[in-house]
Amino acid sequence: MQYTQFYYCGFYSCNSISSSAGCVLDSHSLTSSSNEVLFVGCQFFSNSNHAILYGAQLVVFFQCTFQGASAAYGGTAGILLAADTSGSDTGGTSILQSWFEINGIPHIVGSGHESTLLEGNTFWATGGTNALNFGTSVTPYACYDLKVIANTWLGGGSPTCTIYHPTANTDTATLTWRDNSTGSGGPFFPTTLSLIHNSGLSPVYIYAPTQMTQQSGTQPVTANGGNIVHGGGAYTQVRAVPTGAYTAITLSSGVFAGQTLVIFNEAIAANSITFDVAGTSRVADGASCVIAGLTQKTFVWDAGTSLWYHS
């Protein structure tokens, strides 16, 4: 099957055995090419595996829904990217702006794939599912040229992404993407230690998502030494309301390099917020940073110094 397009189709209830799938694209050693297939707005519901690609090339999933695959069906993944019987990897797969609602098994598994792009997707599960698993320690296939850009995790738990590099490279790593709103959903950002590196032979690029504006509810400041929080990155704007003029205030650590945070002081002009010294407050100019009532300051997180800098 080649140059085929599916628009708003449904792939449902293929779950009689663990290897069942809503759709299978298999190149069979390139004797039966499964290339350049486009899925737009398709629904994959209640399958053991929603889609399996064996050696398929340049397949695109755009604004699709993958829901209901679970450990109860014995499947491997929502989407499995694997090599065909000749060892030819699936290549050039793009999974874009799609919704994954899967429990108990990984949302996407890549056991033999190259040049995979995941961008703008949302992954949901009720527990700490291993959301993405690229390469495994029990196959000769691994992760080549992976790009993960601006994806979002919703639901409880702390999902993980496991990435194994090719066998010629000894680097392996587990990338933990944190649910920054402590169980209620939100963007997840790779930490500095999680960024993957190797010898440049098969790069893996993990990009933090662009922040979306999200304002907190009012956050009272009621004493000296109080802490202003931003929900682990869930909020880009914090509405602080001090009940007096307070000092030695601290600001929660940033989550990723370049994170931007606006702090409004909604109290009367006299009720100012003065930060503690830099080593305690995590604000670069420490006690020199004062937010008077009825004003605001914009802070940017510098991951190199682990401090907030403001305009």
Q: What is the pLDDT of residues 255-311, one digit of tens each?
A: 777 888 999 999 999 999 999 999 999 999 999 999 999 999 999 989 889 999 998
Final residue in a domain of this structure, among 178, 207, 236: 207
What DSSP character marks residue 57?
B
- Which of the pair, 162 or 304, is modelled with greater confidence? 304
Rg of the chain taking only CA atoms, in angstroms: 23
- The reply to whether 126 and 177 lie within a common domain is yes
Both 162 and 48 in a single domain? yes
Shared domain check, 78 and 158: yes
Percent residues over pLDDT 90 in the chain? 39
Please check the confidence at residue 8 and state whether its pLDDT lies above 60: yes
Do 67 and 178 fall within a single domain?
yes
**Of the residues 188, 207, 226, the one at which a domain ends:** 207
Supply the pLDDT for residue 154.
Answer: 64
User: Taking 50 as the threshold, does the pLDDT of residue 75 lie above it?
Assistant: yes
pTM metric for this prediction: 0.59
Neighbouring-strand partners of residue 238: 263
What does the angle CA 82 – CA 85 – CA 91 come to, to the nearest 5 degrees? 40
pLDDT at 225 over 70: yes
More confident residue, 113 or 211: 113
Place of tokens 């050039």: 92
The answer on 223 and 199 residing in a single domain is no
42 and 104 housed in the same domain? yes
Q: Identify the residue whose tokens are 């370049």.
A: 258
CA distance 82 to 97: 22
My answer on whether 59 and 189 are in the same domain is: yes
Would the pLDDT of 230 be above 60? yes
Query: Where a domain ends, among 207, 241, 271?
Result: 207
Pair (171, 270) in one structural domain: no
Instruction: Judge if 179 and 85 occupy the same domain.
Output: yes
Q: Sign of dihedral through CA atoms 277, 280, 284, 289?
A: negative
* Confidence category of residue 32, pLDDT binned at 50, 70, 90: low
Least confident of 63-72, 239-248, 259-268, 301-310: 63-72
The confidence band for 109, taking pLDDT boundaries of 50, 70 and 90, is confident
Q: What is the spatial distance between Cα 73 and Cα 67, in angstroms, rounded to a whole number? A: 13
Q: How many domains does the chain have?
A: 2
pLDDT band (50, 70, 90) for residue 175 = very low
Mean pLDDT on 178-198: 37
Write out the residue range of the structural domain in which residue 278 sits: 215-310
CA 140/CA 9 separation, integer angstroms: 34
Is the predicted pLDDT of residue 199 greater than 70, yes or no? Answer: no
Average pLDDT along the chain: 76
Place of tokens 């907190």: 216
Do residue 182 and residue 49 come from a single domain? yes
